[in-house]
Chains A and B, each alone.
Chain A
Amino acid sequence: MNVLRWWSGLLVAFALLILLRIFLPLPFNNEIIIFSVYVIGCNFLLGRVGFISFGQPAYLAVGAYGTAFYLYYFGTNPYVGILIGILSGIVVSLIVGPLFVRLRSDYFALVNMALAVIIFFLMQKVLADITFGDNGLWFLTNVDSTPILDLTRPDQFYIFAFLAAFAVWAFYKYLDDSIFGACCLATKMNDDKVRFLGYNNFHIRLAAFVIANTTTALAGSLYAVYLGFVSPEMTSPARTADPVVVTILGGVGTLFGPIVGSVAYTGMKDLISKYFGNWELVIGILLVFIMLAGEKGIWGSLEPLIKRWVFRQREAEKPAAADAGVKSR
C-alpha cells in the first residue's frame, strides 16, 4: 500500500515534469533533468550515509571528460560515449573510494573538495594538451545522429534524459527501501552497531560512494552529450558547492528533494542573473538562512504539509490510518 503510494507519487512528479516541458523552454527543462541526476548522488551520500560531499563536481567532470574524450578522439556514437562516461565514473570512484570512505566525515568532506579542485587543475593545466585547457573540447559536430532517439536534437535528448533520470530515481527509491538503504542509514547513526550486526561498514560505504558518484558521472556524460562541449569550469572551486546547495535547498534525504531543489536552483539562477546579477550573494544568504531555519529545505518543509493535505483527503475513508500517519511524523 505504502509502496504503491510512493510510486504514484513519482508518477505525479514526472507528470509535472511533462507539464513543465509544455510551459517552460526546453533548455531549462534539460538543465533541470540533468541537474537533478547530478544532485541525487550527493543527496544520498548526505542524507543516508552522512557524508557531505563537496567534491561531487569531480565525478561530474570525470563522467563528462570520459564521454568527451571518446566523442572527440575515438568515436561518434553518443550512447557509447555515455556508457564510457559512466564506466570512468565507476573506475575513478573505485580508485579513490577505498581511501576516502575510511576517513572520518569531516576529513572526507575536505579531501573530496580538494579532489574536485585537483581535477579542475588537471583538466585546466596538466592535461591541457588533450583537454585544450579553458577553451574546452568541442565535439558537437562529431556526434552521430542515432536512429531511435537522436541525442543531437534537444527535444529527443529531453526524452532520453527524462527516461535516464526516471531510471535513476526508481533505482534510488529501490535503494531507500532495501536492506542496503537501511544499512547505510545505520552506518550514519552508529558505526559500531552495524559491525555488531554482522555488516561491514567499509563495504557499505564504498558501495554507497561508488553508486552515488557513478550517478554523478552519468549526469556529467549527459551534460557532455547535451552541450557537445566540456570545459574545466564545471569543477572550478566556485562550483564545488552546487550539489550541496541544491541538496540543502531541496531537503536532505528526501526523494523529491533533488527535483525540487534543481527546479528552484536553476530557476533562481536564471532569474537572478537576468535581473540582479549578484548570484553569489543571494545563494549564500539563502543557504545560511535555510541552515539557521532548520535545514529542512523546500521539499523537507513542504512534505509534511502535503502529506497532511493528502491525509485530510483520505480521512473520510480511513481516519485511523491518517491519524497514525500524522503522529509518526
Chain B
Amino acid sequence: MIDPQLLLSGVIFGLSMGSIFFLMAIGLSLCFGLMRIISLDQLLYYAIGAYLTYTVSLLVGNVWIGVLAGVLVSGLTAYLIERFVFLRIYARDITFSMITSFGILIGGIGVIKAIWGLVPRPVPVPIEAQLDIFGTEIPIYRLVVIVIALMVYGGIWLFLNKTIIGKAIRAGIEDVEHVEGLGINVYRLFTVTFVIAGAMSGLAGGLNAPLIMVDPNMGLEILAFVFMVVIIGGLGSIKGTFISAFLVGQVVSIGSLIYAPLAQMAPFAIMLLILLVKPTGLYGSTMMKR
C-alpha cells in the first residue's frame, strides 16, 4: 500500500500536471471544435511561453512578469501565424492543417534553437514556500498553478456563455456554416479562438517552466500527453478536455508512484480502452461536420 503522505503529494502533483495539460489541450480542442483544424503548433506556443518566462524573469527578476510576457508573445505569435498561414487553409481537409501546423511547430523549434541554443534552461520557482498539510510538505507554487487553471476554466466558461462572441463560438462549434449564414464574420471568430488558444498554451508553458527545464523540444515532450488528454476528452469538448486533463494528470502521478513506467503507459492504456468503447472520446461529437 502507498504511504498516505506520499499519496497526498502525488495527488497534488497530479492536479498541477493536469492543470498544465488542461491549459495546453483546451486550445487544441477549441480550434478543432470551431475551425475543424488540428493545430499542432500549440505545442510551439507552449515552448515560446516558457522561453519568454525564462528570458524576462532573468531580465526583470520576477517570474510572474515573465509568465505574462510569455502569454502576450505566444498570443501575438498565434495571431500572426493565423493571419498568414491558417487563414489560407481553413477550407481544406483536416490532414492539411495537421501537416502544415507540424511544419510550423518544427520550424518554430528551429527558430527557438537559433535564438536560445540547445542547452536546457532553468527557471526559478516564484514561490518557494511549502504548505504543511497533515504533515506533508506541499509546494505552494503547485497549488497556485492548480488555482490558475481552475480560474482559466471559469473564465473560458464565462466567456463562452456570457459574451456574444463566446455564444457565437459555441454556435460555430455546432455548425459554423449557419453562423456564417446569419451574417456573422466567422473568420473574426476563428482569429479570436486561435489567439486565445495560443495564449493558453503560452500560459501553460510559462507556468510549467519553473517545474521543468526549458528546452527547445519541450513541446514535443508533452505532445503525447496532450494528445491523450484531447482524445480521451473528445475533440471539441471543453468539459471533456477539463475532466480528462485531470484524469490523465492523476493517472500519470499516481501511476508513477506505484511503478515508474506506468507514468507513460497507463494513460495510453486508458485511452485505448476508452476508444474501444467510444471511438470519439468521452464527450466528442460523433458527427464530423463540413
Contacts and interface: CB of A to CB of B under 8 A. Distances in A.
Co-complex (A, B)? yes
A107 to B, nearest CB: 6
Contact of B95 (A50, A278, A292): A50
Contacts of A109: 38, 95, 98
Given A105-B95, A114-B271, A287 B103 contact: yes
A122 B265 contact: yes
A70 B266 CA distance: 28
Given A114-B271, A287-B99, A107 B107 contact: no
Given A99-B275, A121-B261, A125-B264, A287 B102 contact: yes
B153 to A, nearest CB: 22
A101 to B, nearest CB: 10
Q: Identify which of A105, A283, A291 gathers the most chain B CB atoms within 10 Å of its CB.
A: A291
A111 B281 CA distance: 11
Chain B residues touching A, majority SS: helix
B107 A285 contact: yes
Given A107-B275, A111-B275, A113-B227, A118 B107 contact: no
B279 A104 contact: yes
Contacts of B230: 110
A237 B217 contact: yes
Given A54-B102, A237-B217, A282 B280 contact: no
Contacts of A288: 85, 100, 103-104, 107
B217 A46 contact: no
A103 B103 contact: no
A36 B275 CA distance: 32
A206 interface: no
Contact of A292 (B89, B110, B231, B279): B89
B59 interface: no
Contacts of B113: 278, 280-281
B227 A280 contact: no
Contacts of A50: 95
Contacts of A103: 275, 279
Interface of B: 32, 38, 85, 88-89, 94-96, 98-100, 102-111, 113-114, 217, 220-221, 223-224, 227-228, 230-231, 235, 260-261, 264-265, 268, 271-272, 275-276, 279-281, 288
Closest 5 CB pairs of A and B: A284-B107, A281-B110, A287-B103, A280-B110, A117-B224
22 contacts: A52-B95, A102-B279, A104-B280, A104-B288, A105-B95, A114-B231, A117-B223, A118-B264, A118-B265, A126-B261, A126-B264, A238-B109, A278-B114, A280-B109, A281-B113, A284-B106, A284-B107, A286-B103, A287-B99, A291-B96, A291-B103, A292-B88
Given A107-B235, A107-B281, A284-B105, 9 more contacts: A107-B231, A107-B280, A110-B227, A121-B261, A126-B265, A281-B114, A284-B107, A287-B102, A287-B103
